[in-house]
Every structure is written in structure tokens, then in C-alpha cells.
Amino acid sequence: MPLILNRSLYFINDFKYYLVAFAAFLILSFLILLFKRNKFILLLLAICYSLLASFAFGETYFRYIYDQSDGLGFLKVNQKWHQRHVVFNNYFRRDRQFDTDKLPGEFRIAVMGDSISFGAGIEKVGDRFSDLLQTRLRADGFNVAVYNLGVSGTDTEIQIKDFTNFKQLKFDLLIWQYFLNDINPATGGEGTQIITINRDKFLPRPPLSWLIDRSYFADWLYWRLSTKYSRTFTDLLAADLKAYQDSVIVSRHREAISHFLAQARKENLPVVVIMFPFLYQTPLTQAADAVYDQMFKFFTAAQKTVAVIDLKSIFRLYPASELMAGRFDSHPNELAHALAAQALYEKILAYISNL
């Protein structure tokens, strides 16, 4: 009984504006019919009730059933997606509980990266490339444990700094997932500013903004029918490419990477870099691919200390829409993660063949 009561109160609180509007419209309809009743009035009320019922159905669907992520975090449904699918462990990572005690003969692999490693847009953690890799290796009889350290919104320097907090886990191999926007600072960077500014700039004016702020259905419709959402992706890509044209930023970025790889070499920690390309297709895609190739050459120049996996050559065999998490999320989907896991599996066998 308390459970039913709590759920009823939750529904009433969540739907309070619609319940008030429906009650008000019901009273108004009664008053209209009380003083004037004809075919036109009945038809008008029937249309209004149909529209109200349709909107209520749409609101219920997008508030409680719809289950798609949003790569920019603009849509209200993105909050629900995270509530349903994201659970953090004892190290505040989206993974199982981390155990500091290493089992005898266990080969530990760390996965370091941003929202791609985190699994943005991936409902089940078992469908991420890190988890698929662990499943495949264990199925082949290897005593392997893969630890996913990925955090959404982090840049290269933050990832490097955070990795030092996990040395007590005694990793035997590091998989470094790299994406081109990792060059931009996660805190106060141009990309972060674009998302914040565009979100506020593209919102409509009152009274429509009032409705969108309170309705999951209206919010989804607004961004679904607007081209402004897509424009933000293009703006973000332009900001990332701009960073690679700044010699000071590029120099600092590469220096941070080189220093980290040198430190890994001193600690006898093998590193496998797996590079993800931009999936969202814009007029800037060709320029982004050129920058990708430059960074690929930079990483391969350090081939004595790292192995590099080029996913662009694999992903370009598929239409971008088949690899994206959704209409509003350009993160790699389950197929893209499976392709990445396969490429990693083939590369990592050389490191664990003697286990």
C-alpha cells in the first residue's frame, strides 16, 4: 500500500501542471455546455479534448518510456536515460566494483578515455568495447580483468592526471581511447562554452519556453524539428579543428602526451592507443579526418612505446548513421564498440599470448 501511495504521489507531482490544465478545461467545458450547446461547440470541444489527450499521451511516452540518449545534454529525456542506465562504482566509475587485491596470474588492463570509453549512448555496460574485450579474452581462457576508467567530458590532461589515482590497481596494460576533442580543455574550454551558450541562445522565448521547460514531449518536438541542434555539432567540430591550428595549444597537447608515454615506458606499462574518428557528417568532416591523420602519425612515431589502432579506416566502411548511438547522439553505438573491441582483441593478443 505505501508503494502504491508513493507512486501515486510521484505521478501527481510529476503531472501536476497537466492535471490542473485538464481540470480547468473540464470545468470550462461544463460551463460552456451549461449555457450554450450546439453542434459547433460539441465539435470544437471534441477536437480540444482529442488534442489534449494526444499531448498527454505524448508526454507520458517521452517522460516514462522513451529511452534515447542526447549527446549534447540539451534534451530533458537525457536525464531519464542517465537515471536508468548509469550506475557508478566505489571509484565513481561506470563499471563493476574495483578490487585493489590482484588475483594470482591476473592480467589487468586499464581503459582510459572520455565519454566514448564511459559508454555514452550505450545502455548496457556489457556492450562497451572494454567489456566486450574482457568477455572475448576470458572466453578464450585468458585470466584478464579490464577496468574502465572513462569519464565523460574529460580532456587529455585530466585523463592523464586521473590515471595516477589508480596506480594502486597495478595495471599490466593501458588502453588509451583518444578522440580529437580531447585537445580542448574540459573546464572553461571553447567546446564547453559553445554547448552552454547555444543551449541558452537557441531556446525559444516565452510562453513557448515555459512549456518546453516543463514538458518532455514539447522539448523533444522542439529540438527534433529544429536545425539548431545540428548546428551545435558543427560549431563544436569547428572549435576542435581551430584548436589544432593553434601552435601553442598543439605543442602543449603533444608535450603532455609525450611526457605521459615516457613515464609509462619507465614504469614498463605497455600502451595501446585506439583512435575514434568523428562520426557526425558535416562539411568539416574532411578537415577533421586530416587532423585525425596528423595525430595518428604523431602516435605511431612513438611506436617503440605504443601500439596504435586506426578506427577511421574501419568505420568509413559503414554509413555514419549505422554507427551513431541515435538521432541526437553521435557517440559510437553498440556496433561501433563491437568493431573497436575486435580491433583491440587482435592487437592485444601479442601482449597476453604467454599467459
Q: What is the pLDDT of residues 122-149, one digit of tens each?
A: 999 999 999 999 999 999 999 999 999 9
Q: Which of 10, 36, 64 is the last residue of a domain?
A: 64
pLDDT greater than 80 at residue 5: no
pLDDT greater than 90 at residue 346: yes
In a domain, 208, yes or no: no
> What pTM, to 2 d.p., does this model score?
0.87
In a domain, 25, yes or no: yes
Do 304 and 182 belong to one domain?
yes
How large is the greatest C-alpha to C-alpha distance in the chain, in angstroms? 89
In a domain, 218, yes or no: no
Task: Give the pLDDT confidence of 45-78 residue by residue, as tens digits.
Answer: 778 878 888 888 888 899 888 988 988 888 888 8
Do 317 and 174 belong to one domain?
yes
In a domain, 327, yes or no: yes
Alpha-carbon dihedral sign for residues 77, 68, 309, 275: negative
Residue with cell 565513481: 92
Domain count, the chain: 2
Identity (one letter) of the amino acid at 151?
Answer: V
Q: How many CB atoms lie within 10 A of CB 257?
A: 23
Do 161 and 43 belong to one domain?
no
Task: Give the pLDDT confidence of 292-309 residue by residue, as tens digits.
Answer: 999 999 999 876 678 999
DSSP state of 205: P
Task: Give the pLDDT confidence of 95-117 residue by residue, as tens digits.
Answer: 999 999 998 999 999 999 999 99
**CB neighbour list of residue 19: distance below 8 Å, 6 or more residues apart:** 12
Identity (one letter) of the amino acid at 70?
Answer: D
Identity (one letter) of the amino acid at 325?
Answer: A
* N residues, the chain: 355
Residue with cell 574550454: 189
Give the DSSP letter string of 51-106: HHHHHHHHHHHHHHT-----SSS-STHHHHHHHHH----TTSSSSSPP-SSPPTT-
Task: Give the pLDDT confidence of 180-235 residue by residue, as tens digits.
Answer: 999 987 555 666 677 777 777 777 778 777 788 888 888 888 887 776 777 887 88
Do 131 and 51 belong to one domain?
no
Strand partners, 110: 147, 174
What gap in Å lies between CA 114 and CA 92, rounded to an integer? 14
Q: What is the pLDDT of residue 146?
A: 98
Q: How far is CA 118 from CA 57, 86, 93, 95, 139, in A?
A: 33, 10, 8, 9, 23
Range of the domain at 170: 79-188+233-352
Q: How far is CA 266 from CA 162, 212, 260, 305, 315, in A?
A: 18, 54, 10, 10, 34
* Domain harbouring 276, CATH code: 3.40.50.1110
Percent of all residues in the chain with a pLDDT value above 90, rounded to a whole number: 52
Q: Where do the H-state alpha helices sit in the chain?
A: 2-14, 16-35, 39-64, 77-85, 115-118, 129-139, 156-163, 190-202, 208-214, 216-225, 228-244, 247-266, 285-300, 312-315, 334-352
What gap in Å lies between CA 75 and CA 64, rounded to an integer? 14
